[in-house]
Amino acid sequence: MIALIDYGMGNLSSVYKAFNAVDAEGLKIVSTPKEVKGADAIILPGVGNFGDGMKNLTEKGLDQAVITAVSDGKPFFGICLGMQLLMESSEEAPDVAGLSILKGKVIRFSKEMGLKIPQIGWNCVNLTRQHPYFTGIFSGEFFYFVHSYYLKPENSETVLGITDYDIDFCSCVAKDNIFATQFHPEKSQDEGLAILRNFIENIRK
């Protein structure tokens, strides 16, 4: 079973439909730690506030369930807020601890930027290395973003994709069984669906 975690933070329906479009057999929307524990792979989507996201996960006991699942080596796919929650902290909610699965923090784009905040729309993702989930996708392809905050991982080796929005920021991470994107693959047409398809095909191996 592939667990798509519902913790009340939006974009669940669009992610569910996109994964079904690539024949994600066994995909199930879940909302309890028991369901997460029984899953073979984990998808953590989400849009909205970092503090609200952690509050919802914690109240449902899903925070520890996700941490345990990742620690057990289960494939993990985070999307947008689901990527940011991997970090230790965020400027969006300074007093709230993240899942701390990856070391680092989430930073807000500077108000002194010459570009609009939030970033909304298409931007390219330049890969730092090859990865199975990007099979058939060229470095520099465009994906759809909606965000005001970005990851600053402590370990640069976790960075898989870099995007330029006045600054170069981390738009994708990958480490062991962890994979996550700041952009929305479910809204990124063929290239986004290719990532989802590659994820499904790899966890079936």
Q: Any idea how long the chain is?
A: 205
Residue 129 sits in a domain whose CATH number is 3.40.50.880
Q: Which of 80, 92, 141, 147 is catalytic?
A: 80
Q: Which of 141, 147, 172, 184 is catalytic?
A: 184
Catalytic residue list contains 147: no
DSSP code string of 139-154: TTEEEEEEESEEEEES
- Quote the pTM value: 0.96
Q: pLDDT at position 111, please?
A: 85
Catalytic residue list contains 112: no
Q: Which of 92, 170, 172, 186 is catalytic?
A: 186
Arithmetic mean of pLDDT, 13-22:
96
Beta-carbon contacts of residue 140 (< 8 Å; ≥ 6 apart):
124, 125, 126
- With tokens 């931007």, the residue in question is 123
CA distance 109 to 117: 7
Name the pLDDT band for 164 (thresholds 50, 70, 90). very high
Number of structural domains (the chain) is 1
CA distance 205 to 190: 23
Catalytic residue list contains 172: no
Name the pLDDT band for 156 (thresholds 50, 70, 90). very high
Domain that holds residue 162: 2-203
Beta-carbon contacts of residue 2 (< 8 Å; ≥ 6 apart):
19, 24, 26, 27, 28, 39, 40, 41, 42, 43, 200, 203
Buried b (16+ CB within 10 A) or exposed e, 75-89: bbbbbbbbbbbbbeb
- DSSP-derived letter for residue 185 is G
Sign of CA dihedral 176, 177, 181, 187: positive
pLDDT at 205 over 80: no
Q: pLDDT at position 112, please?
A: 83
Q: Are 46 and 85 in contact (CB under 8 A)?
A: yes
112 versus 161: which is more confidently predicted? 161
- DSSP-derived letter for residue 8 is S
Pairing relationship of beta strands 76-79 and 178-181 according to DSSP bridges: parallel
pLDDT, tens only, 66-123:
999 999 999 999 999 999 999 999 999 999 999 999 999 999 999 888 889 999 999 9
Beta-carbon contacts of residue 45 (< 8 Å; ≥ 6 apart):
4, 5, 9, 10, 11, 12, 15, 78, 79, 80, 81, 82, 186
